[in-house]
Every structure is written in C-alpha cells, then in structure tokens.
Amino acid sequence: MSVTPVKTAVNSALRSHDTPAMTKHMSSLNRYREVLQQLQGTWDNLSLLSQLSGTGTDMSETRHAFGQVTTDVLDSLAAETLNKTVTAISAKAQVAVDIVVRNLFERTADIGFLATDNKLSDFLDKHLAGLADDEDCLLLQQRFAEYVKKYSVYFNVILLDSNGHVLVQLDDHNPVQASADPLIKEALHSNAPYIEVFRHSDLVPDAASSLIYASKVHHDDAETALGVLCLCFRFENEMQGIFEHLIRKEDWCVGLLLDSDKRVIASSDHYQIPLGVQLETAQMQTATADSGMQDQDWIITRFAGRLYLAVTRATKGYQGYMGPGWCGHVMVPLDHAFDDNVASIIAGIDVKLLGKVMRSPLLFSPTLLGIPRQAATIQSKLNQSVWNGNIWQKRDSSHNPQQNSFSKMLLWEISNTGFKTQNVIEKTVADLYQTVVSVMLENSRFFASLAVDIMDRNLYERANDCRWWALTATFQQLLAKPVLTSQDQAAITKVLSYINRAYTVYDNLVVFDRNGSIVATSNPAYHGLIGETIAADWARAALNLRDTQEYVVSAFEPSPLYRNKSTYIYAAAIRNDEQTVGGIGIVFDSTPQFSAMLADALPRNADSTAVAGSFTLYVDDKLRVISSTSSEFSIGSEFTLQPELCQLPKGGAAFDIVLYNGNYYAVGARASSGYREYKDAQDSYQNHVTALIFIPLGKAAEINAMMETERQLQHNQFKPATAQAQAQNPDAEEYATFYIGQHWLGLPAAQIIEAIQVNDIKSLPDTSSVLEGMLKHQDNVVPVLNLAKLTGVEIQIPERDKQVIIVQAGPKLPKFGLLVSTLGEIPAIAPDAIESLSSLFATVNIPAEGIAKVMTERGENLLILLSANNLITRISEAAQQLNAQPVNTAVKTSAAYPGSEMLEQAA
C-alpha cells in the first residue's frame, strides 16, 4: 500500500471504462466542472463578439490554453479524490489482515507451550493407566479455566486421547464427546509445533467454521504422543473488535476477511456483505516497460445490485508467519466512496501552515505545482492582449466613440472572464492540494492508532505470560521448599530457558524466592545475579499479590536485569497451597521489540519501503521517549516538540502540522487504550503511552521559495477599468500603466505602441546598466531601458516573464522600449487630478512628471506618471558611454537620438 501522494497526479490511475461511473459521485469535481463549462460558453460568445467588433484581440490561443489547463486540473482532482479513498480503504484492508496474523502468531506459541504442560501429560498417564477420576478431570478443567482467564482469546480448551475421545474440556455446554476430525490424526503424527485449521469441525458442531490450534501432548523427554490438545480461538469476537477500531460508525465502507478462495469469513456488516459469499477481487498485473501497465490495486465491482469500490490486500506476515492464507478486503458503496469530508479534516489546522504544505514539492509534481502558474501566465498573456487592444483602440482614430466604448467594454469582459476562469482553476487546485494534505493527516492519525494497537496487543500477551508461567508446577513445588539445592535451581533454569526459547520477545526471565532473592535466570548473561536480592519496587509489589489474575509492571526504567537499559518488567506471584513462595519477572526486550512495532506502523510505499523521512515514537505521560525510529529522539529523553499531543485522554487521537528541523510534518497521535481486559477500567495497571507518527510534508526552504515565486507572479495582476468608469470625465486622458516591482508607473496611452513578450534582447557592452540592450521591433532596432535599474528597485525579472512596452511619444520622436515587471490598468485621469511632484522623486532617480491618486479594483492607489522625453534623455546618456564598434547597417534605428549612431553600430 502506498500512502505517499505520488509525484504525478495519479496514484491509482483512473481507467477509462470506470471513469463515468466514478466521477459522477465526486461532488467537488462536478461542482467545478459545471462552473468551468459555463465559463467555456462565455468564452465562445466573447470570441465571436471579439471577431465582429474588431478589437484586435485573438482569443483562440487563450481559449485553448485555458481549456488544456482545465482538463489537466480536473483530471488531477479526480485522480487524487480516488487516491484519497483508495489510500484510506487500502490501509484498513492491510491492517485488518496484518493485525489478525500478528494475533495468530501468538497463538502458535501458546499451543506449543501449553501442550508441554506437565499437568496435561500427567493426567494422560493416569488416564492411560485407568487411574484418572472425576476429581482429576475437575482439576484439569480448572487449570483450563485459569488459562482462559488470562488468555481470553480462547473460548474452549479440549484435551483428547489418541482415539479422538474428549477427556476434558473447558466448555461444559459443548456436547462433543468424540471427534473424527482429521485434525486429531494429523496432530498425533506431526512433529510440527502446531496444526492450524479454519473450517467446520465436529469439535465445535454449532459453528459453520472454527479456528482451532492443535498439538500433540507428550513428555518433555519423549516424542510419543499421549493425546491431543486443541485451543478454540474466539475468531468472530476478535474480528468484531478489529473492525470496530478500523471502521467508525459514520464510515460507509465494509471491512472483510477473505479466505484463499476469496470467500467472506468475517464481515463488519453482515447485512451488506454476508459470510460465505465469494467476491471479485483485483487481479494484480505485472507492469512492464513495454506495456506500461500498472497494478490494478482497486476495482469497481457489483454486489447485490450495488456498485462498490473495492481493494484487496495480502498480509505482510509477522516474523515469518504468514497466517492461514487470508486477505484483507474493504468495499465502499460507490455512491458514498467520495463523500467530501476534506473540510472537516483540515478544520483545526493552522491556516498558514496548511497554506505552506499545500505548496510542497515533496507532495506534488512540478506539473501540479505549476498549474496555478500556468493559469496565471495564460491570464498574463490575455491581459497583455487586452492591454494592447485598449492601446490600439486609443491610437485608431477611425473608430467612432460609441464603437470604442463598446470595444472597451468587450475587452473588459474578456479580461474579467479570464480572471474568473483563473480563479476557478486556482480553487480547483486548492481543493486538489487540500485533498492530498488531508490524506497525509488522516494517515498520520491512522498509523499512530496502528502503532498503539500493536503495542497494546503485544503487552497484553506479556501480562498474560507472567501470570500463567507463575502457575508452573515446577516453580510452585520447588520454591515451597525451605532451601533450594543446586539441582532445584537447575530445574527452574531449564524451564525458564525452554520458555525463553519459545518466546523470543524476552531478553531474560527471572525467578526469585519469597525474600526477593534471584534463584534462576533464563539468560546465561545474567547468571551472575543469582543470589542477589531485587531491590526494585516491582519485585516487592509482586510478592504482595494475592490473586492469580493480578500482576505488576515496573516503571520504564533502567534495570540490571536488562543490561542497565530501560524496559518494562512484568511480574506475578508464585503461590503454592495459597501461600506466596516467590515470584517471576519477565524482562521485555524493549529496545528491539518496541523499535520493530514502530517500524511496522510506518507508512509504506507500494514497494513496501518506509516513506522516506517518516518516523514514529512511543512517549509516556512524563514526556519521556520510550522508543523511536529516529536517532534524534533517544530513549529516556524528554519529548518537547509537541507535548500537548501526549496529553490526550485514554484512547484519544489527534493530528496536526508541525515544523521540525526545517521540515514540515503531518504528525498523528493516539493514546493507549488497552486491549481486551488489559488496561481496561477493571485492570489495576494503567499506563498512559502515546504513539506519535511524523510523515514529511516538505522542506520549509523549498516551500517558501515556491510561495515567493507564486506571490510575485500573482502580484499586480490587474482588471482594466470599465468603459463607464473611464467615461465619467470627458477631459480625462487614458494612461497605460505598468509595474516595476511594486511601484506603479504610467505613460499617456497615446504614446504607447504595444506591449510584447521578449526573450531576445541583445545586451550592449560598455554601457550604463540602465540600458538593458537592443531588440528588433518591426523593421527597427530600438533600445530597451531597464526601469528597475534606473529607479534603484531591486528585482529580478525571470527571462520567460520579460515584457517590453514599446513607446513612441510622437511621430517624429524615436521609439524605445521599457522593460517592466507586469502590465497594469489603463485608467482615465483628469488633468486636475495630477500633481506635479517630480522634484520629490529625485532621490529615487525616477523621471516623473507627476503623481495621481487612482481608484482601482483594489482601492485607491498612487500612480507615478513618467515623462517620455526624460526617458529618451536617459537613453541618450547611456548611449554616450558606448565604445566604437564595427558598424552593422542591416537595420536602422527608429530615429536620431543623441548618440544614436553608437547604438546603431553596437546593434
């Protein structure tokens, strides 16, 4: 399962034959599509009117460019909407099967260990000798009850002889007295540590299918089978608990477990998808370089007259155990698969942080991140076309005033429609970005919950183990002796070593006497501690326990029983004849085990590798790090990055976006809630631990650079004033305006020929920096003045964004170009609204004639009015600096500047 939004727009590609069925249920997609279709109709009408009115504005390229961007963004939104749903249900399908397999792995150890219990083999010896009586059966049944009180995942324990006769079972209501199940024979003749079956069995006659673990019973020193032990797992109860954690009540999806024949063996909703039905699943395809095929990791399937989106996931296994061959499967009704809940997910996230990660190159491809820029560039070109159209209208004396008024109104409407289209595209892209970020936030919370669930389930087994092993007859009998011999200690060590070999999650097992003195350890590395008294509080607390269901757990602290590293030690009292004779402490190998749990909870890519840069932690209520997959958070250190996430109520979950070490992360948190009776309301042991997962969202420096680029691109985009606004004063003169950085400048529109996009300005050697160079315009070579350098404004105009305004102040005056940042409005300004303030701008070196307050779409703004004659003078001064160059007479300068011969030679 991939949880990282892919760098193309498509994580799970929309297949053409599924597109209509799926996209009609994507509400946000359809909402934007309808608006864009309406705008397309407007474009068609404006294009026709533009041709009829002769505005000089060619809209065909703009319409095509906006149409292509619209298609790209809608396709991307559809793909990411699908990806969001597929990612969510894939995670559920994967976890459903993997959690079950983890649980069943523990069961494979249970059956192997319990089958070697001396009390079972002793009972079978007596039975074979004809000496077993009702009291023996009752005692063994009570032992089974003790076992199930601790390992509550079983509903029955059955002991059978070699002929399949039931000798003792926990469930008094089960009528079975003998079994012909092939499982019995297989267990008797197998050297495997366990036999696992899931099907109908006469051992559980009322169930259609049962999950049973079986093993032969024999003495430790002999392989001869005395009988068979069967553990009956509470499969339906377990799956109900898993589905309740995975699927919230408001979810529409159905969680399922399928067997190897793709038949439903567990369902979160029996009314929608009942047990026993065979379902269609995605057939995985192998992608090749030639075919370009992708894995079909989802399907549209029909069941009971309803369409579903479905995913299937095989287990990743656990410590080499792959389970009974089951798959996790999740189906969601297609009409609810894409319910729009993005807004509710991101509602509590800081708007500024959200805005930043929505520009992350880590989450989005350059193509997707470039869509807003692409739309803005198209609008900028449209603005240039409209701007030039207005200039052309001003210079063309053949048009009558009424026609000019209509043309200006049409040009305004064309530009305004462009802005509307750009705005819808940007909103669509924002929805796309938010969809991807919401996936990351939900993933962080989901995988934090998985990390906690894995921990709680694992430690549940540890609480069970210490209590059950405290009931080992060898320990009870030997510790009851006043003095232990070396042979007694060796016997206890042998049992401990056998247990530790079967249960590798422990670094060490220790048995101590009623005084707290160590009498045996399973790990030879700690034999030197034998005879020493355990001073820790947990040992004294264990010796004070009076019930076989009680246990104690140490604080997470360094212990000499774990190489002076921090760990949890689970302990229980060993009792004989109602008297406490000692205790057992099981030392959890916390460093590798917690690390493995956290690693298993990391989000993963499609190739099963962990998402680069992600990390997970366990943190206790004192903000101490218990374990971490990141070297930056050492065990025992204080967690200060987001402490409030470690103060959630029991079972509480949250997520947020944080900045850490120059990177943004989606961080999810989930507080421990326990598993079954472990840490429930009745359990005396309560330990608040929070799992935290950090999923990288992008580097702050890259995101800030991206946002600055977009800010510069969006700044100063203008809407031309309407004809009605321009006509309010008949004496007003129109001014063509433009921006240098954030400075708003203008010249009389009558002095402007046009604005052009250029990338071929030829620089000139040995000239003032204010002269950008020369360019060819029509049949003339014209100098280009760099207004930014002239005015001392510190900006860099990207090559692809360079615009030059061609100026000619009069028919006999020379043409020249002005390099500008972007174009502005063309307002009409009355003469009495202009103040002569050129003297005030001497310090900033602006050749200004005056200044005017102009009402724009953004409110009142100050416009600096330039003098074309002054600009010509500046060009002439720059021309005087030219060195003599070989003369090229292929083109002519537009008119005679002072020094124009030098410009001509340089060109």
Q: What is the pLDDT of residue 284?
A: 42
Residue type, 862: L
Q: What is the pLDDT of residue 43?
A: 66
Q: What is the pLDDT of residue 51?
A: 61
Q: What is the pLDDT of residue 846?
A: 62
Task: Write out the two tokens for 796.
Answer: 């860099």
Q: What is the pLDDT of residue 642?
A: 85
Q: What is the pLDDT of residue 296?
A: 62
Collapsed DSSP state (helix, strand, coil) of residue 868: helix
Q: What is the pLDDT of residue 529?
A: 94
Concatenate the DSSP letters of all residues of 47-102 into one string. Answer: HHHHHHHT-----HHHHHHHHHHHHHHHHHHHHHHHHHHHHHHHHHHHHHHHHHHH
Residue with tokens 């159905």: 254
Residues of the chain with pLDDT under 50: 1-13, 284-295, 716, 722-727, 839-844, 883-895, 898-899, 902, 906-907
Collapsed DSSP state (helix, strand, coil) of residue 149: helix
Q: What is the pLDDT of residue 151?
A: 93
CA dist., res. 676 & res. 690, Å (int): 18
CA nearest neighbour of 319 among 529, 460, 126, 108? 108
Phi, psi of 863 (to 5 degrees): -115, 125
Cβ 438 vs Cβ 354: under 8 Å = no
Residue with tokens 């609480």: 463
CA nearest neighbour of 511 among 712, 646, 494? 494
Q: What is the pLDDT of residue 229?
A: 97
CA dist., res. 32 & res. 74, Å (int): 8
Cβ 57 vs Cβ 413: under 8 Å = no
CA dist., res. 71 & res. 3, Å (int): 25
Residue type, 479: L
Q: What is the pLDDT of residue 54?
A: 58
Q: How many helices (H) and strands (E) does the chain have?
A: 20, 35
pTM value surpassing 0.75 = yes
CA dist., res. 645 & res. 259, Å (int): 39
Cβ 900 vs Cβ 881: under 8 Å = no
Phi, psi of 506 (to 5 degrees): -105, 135
624-658 exposure pattern, b = at least 16 Cβ within 10 A, e = fewer: bbbbbbeeebebeeebebbeebbebeeeebbbbbb
